[in-house]
Amino acid sequence: MTADIFRPPPRQNQGVTAEVPSTAKAPIRRIAHLDMDAFYASVELLRYPQLKGLPVVIGGGRRRQDDVLDQGADLPVASFPRLKDYTGRGVITTATYAARKFGVGSAMGLMKAAKLAPDAILLPVDFDEVRRYSRSFKETIAEIAPLMEDRGVDEVYIDFTGVPGGQREGGRVLARLIQKSIFGKTGLTCSIGVAPNKLLAKMASEFNKPDGISIIHTEDLQDKIWPLPCRKINGIGPKAEEKLHRLHLHTIGDMASQTREWLIDNFGKSYGAWMHEAAWGRDDRPVVTESEPVSMSRETTFDRDLHAVRDKAELGEIFTWLSTKVADDLQRKGYVGKTIGIKLRYDNFKSVTRDVTIDHFTADAKVIRLHAGQCLKRVPLDKRLRLLGVRVGTLARLEDLAPDQLKPGKGVAAKSRSADSAPVMDQLF
């Protein structure tokens, strides 16, 4: 296929009209996606440099006073807690690259991970330290390239287009400067992808991890993007990939070879149309710097379809993890919300959402999980699930609210207190 790969082909049989030639050529759009390398784990390795190069898993909850870890940062490696000794329903927040070689990764249950990497070192999450380093690396970026979109604790989009040096070597010069500046200030590494849009920049940031820079130009689509597996597109999960494989589509180029109408017929109007645009590398989303969020959410697509009854324990761990991540996002950005909801996608690709508005604003993980769990009672759970999400809306800045707007009514408070002790079946999962 030959075409202008980021724009639709020109219309045919149009009359010729005179155009005044432009004397100032607009700069080529260059968008960067920066992703900190194994961020939570890397922050801990700054504290415990003796663990560098070893399989380390971060998860299991917040950092608490621990008899072992409280002894100091110069602990011998043999003294650290091991994954095989963990008992509970916690999930992995992140893992070092050495641990990932064993097949463990984010959102995986710690008990399952212990079977894959029993001797991996297990450390709890230190959210205060993570937030401190998150602020630090973002402040460093803002001093160099101020048009930045915050996408979470460890990743951002940056508009290089009009920044001095942003066009040199396709953005590589500016990306290298940002990498060196972040490492000099924090001791942490990051990977950066630079491309004409967000979609391709995010894909490119994964090409040379860790501590890598990858550049994608418009003309690179067929050589660098189309040979990749379909799932490399952010938004195509394992179940969509499985269906694509059944339809004999294995690469992004295979997707691009299909018509928009064919993809819509097989994947639905919205998702199919998006798949066609994504396969052709089209994405017009701007880098948004200072917008007020309407809601905050976290969702995950499972490696395999899960059943609400047979996989209740695993779903419960993931549900708790998602609720905690949303609460962390709210607290880190200074927001609270009062509309709590869920999103499910079934194995037939149908999606359903439900939400409830409570009588007070919150950013508390237990409250979010409690009311999100109640929303589950309003959806059918007879089909297997491929995606689960938790959302908090009707947001307000914490600093703008009066204290009584954060206080629940008696009924809500009572439910919140009993959330941990409620039977699993009552909470569904």
Contacts of 364 (CB under 8 A, 6+ apart): 327, 416
Looking at residue 237, the DSSP 8-state letter turns out to be: -
CA distance 113 to 319: 17
More confident residue, 71 or 63: 71
Tell me, yes or no, whether 410 and 311 share the same domain: yes
Average pLDDT, the chain: 85
Its sign, for the CA torsion 36, 41, 44, 49, is negative
Instruction: List residues bridging with 187 in a β-sheet.
Output: none
Tell me, yes or no, whether 315 and 380 share the same domain: yes
Angle at CA of residue 242, ends 236 and 246, nearest 5°? 125
CA distance 314 to 41: 23
Q: Is residue 330 part of a domain?
A: yes
Q: Quick one: pLDDT band at residue 86, thresholds 50, 70, 90?
A: confident
**pLDDT value of residue 414:** 32
More confident residue, 428 or 200: 200
How many domains, in total, are found in the chain? 4
**What pLDDT digit, counting tens, does each position of 288-324 carry?**
887 667 899 999 888 788 988 889 899 999 999 999 9
Q: Is residue 16 part of a domain?
A: no
Highest-pLDDT range among 51-60, 247-256, 371-380: 247-256
Tell me, yes or no, whether 120 and 143 share the same domain: no
Amino acid identity at 287: V
Tell me, yes or no, whether 212 and 234 share the same domain: no
Q: For the chain, give the percent of residues with pLDDT over 70.
A: 85
Helix (H), strand (E) at residue 346: strand 335-346
3-class DSSP assignment, residue 37: coil
Residue 156, token pair as written in the block: 């951002």
**pLDDT value of residue 191:** 98
**pLDDT value of residue 17:** 39
Instruction: List residues bridging with 149 in a β-sheet.
Output: 157
For tokens 């948004």, the residue is 288
Average pLDDT over residues 342-357: 91
More confident residue, 12 or 109: 109
Distances 400 to 296, 358, 393 between C-alpha atoms, Å: 18, 18, 16
Contacts of 31 (CB under 8 A, 6+ apart): 157, 158, 159, 160, 161, 194, 195, 196, 197, 198, 201, 287
Contacts of 125 (CB under 8 A, 6+ apart): 40, 58, 59, 60, 61, 62, 63, 93
Tell me, yes or no, whether 409 and 304 share the same domain: yes
Q: Which of 103, 126, 149 is the last residue of a domain?
A: 126
Average pLDDT over residues 365-389: 92
CA distance 204 to 281: 12
Q: Quick one: pLDDT band at residue 4, thresholds 50, 70, 90?
A: very low
CATH code at 391?
3.30.1490.100
Tell me, yes or no, whether 251 and 336 share the same domain: no
Size of the chain, expressed as the number of residues it contains: 429
Q: Are strands 31-36 and 385-397 parallel, antiparallel or unpaired?
A: unpaired
Residue 24, token pair as written in the block: 């100032």
More confident residue, 207 or 416: 207
pLDDT at 266 over 80: yes
Answer yes or no: are the C-beta atoms of 244 and 230 closer than 8 Å. yes
For tokens 């017929």, the residue is 265
Q: Quick one: pLDDT band at residue 5, thresholds 50, 70, 90?
A: very low
**pLDDT value of residue 1:** 44
Q: Quick one: pLDDT band at residue 61, thresholds 50, 70, 90?
A: low
Tell me, yes or no, whether 49 and 114 share the same domain: yes
Q: Quick one: pLDDT band at residue 427, thresholds 50, 70, 90?
A: low
Amino acid identity at 417: R
Range of the domain at 371: 295-417
Average pLDDT over residues 136-147: 95
CATH code at 117?
3.40.1170.60
pLDDT at 152 over 90: no
Tell me, yes or no, whether 390 and 337 share the same domain: yes
Q: Is residue 327 part of a domain?
A: yes
Tell me, yes or no, whether 315 and 410 share the same domain: yes
Residue 378, token pair as written in the block: 């309003």
Q: Which of 218, 237, 255 is the last residue of a domain?
A: 218
- Just list the catalytic residues: 155
Instruction: Find the range with the poorest average confidence among 37-51, 77-91, 177-191.
Output: 77-91
pLDDT at 45 over 50: yes
**pLDDT value of residue 65:** 39
Tell me, yes or no, whether 159 and 268 share the same domain: no
pLDDT at 2 over 50: no
Q: Which of 189, 218, 247 is the last residue of a domain?
A: 218
Residue 251, token pair as written in the block: 């690469």
Residue 361, token pair as written in the block: 């604003």
Distances 417 to 141, 328, 364 between C-alpha atoms, Å: 42, 20, 12
Q: Is residue 422 part of a domain?
A: no
Average pLDDT over residues 368-385: 92
Q: Is residue 381 part of a domain?
A: yes
Q: Quick one: pLDDT band at residue 12, thresholds 50, 70, 90?
A: very low
Give me the helix-helix angle, 312-333 and 365-376, nearest 10°. Answer: 130
Q: Which of 44, 42, 105, 31 is nearest to 321 (CA)?
A: 105
Q: Which of 70, 190, 72 is nearest to 133 (CA)?
A: 190
Average pLDDT over residues 130-147: 94
pLDDT at 372 over 50: yes
CATH code at 275?
1.10.150.20
Tell me, yes or no, whether 302 and 413 share the same domain: yes
